């Protein structure tokens, strides 16, 4: 994910005031995403698996087991 310095972001807000709302929405989205992902450490591997596929259906044969295991922070 690309990063931007706080100073550069403030310059953009000053130059384009309409972007302020977009920036706030993006920050909110990524904060909520990070907060949700951070809570995963409290769940068992089975609970993480179930939560993942409750929100996203598993496309058959499109996700390698090793990639899934890595994403769920489990070993094979």
pLDDT tier for residue 15 given thresholds of 50, 70 and 90: very high
Question: Token pair for residue 38?
Answer: 């951070």
pLDDT at 59: 63
If we measure between CA atoms, which residue out of 66, 68, 73 comes closest to residue 41?
73
pLDDT in tens, 19-66: 888 888 988 999 998 888 788 788 888 888 888 778 777 666 677 888
Return the domain boundaries, the chain: 1-42, 43-76
If we measure between CA atoms, which residue out of 44, 50, 34, 53 comes closest to residue 74?
44
Mean pLDDT, residues 6-18 = 89
CA separation for the pair 40, 49 (Å, rounded):
10
Number of residues written out for the chain? 76
């Amino acid at each position: 994910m690309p990063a931007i310095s706080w100073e550069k972001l403030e310059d953009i807000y000053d130059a384009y005031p309409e972007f302020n709302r977009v920036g706030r929405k993006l920050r909110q989205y990524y904060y909520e995403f990070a907060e949700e992902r951070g809570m995963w450490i409290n769940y068992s591997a089975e609970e993480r698996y179930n939560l993942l596929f409750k929100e996203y259906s598993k496309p058959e044969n499109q996700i390698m087991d090793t990639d899934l295991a890595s994403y769920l922070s489990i070993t094979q």
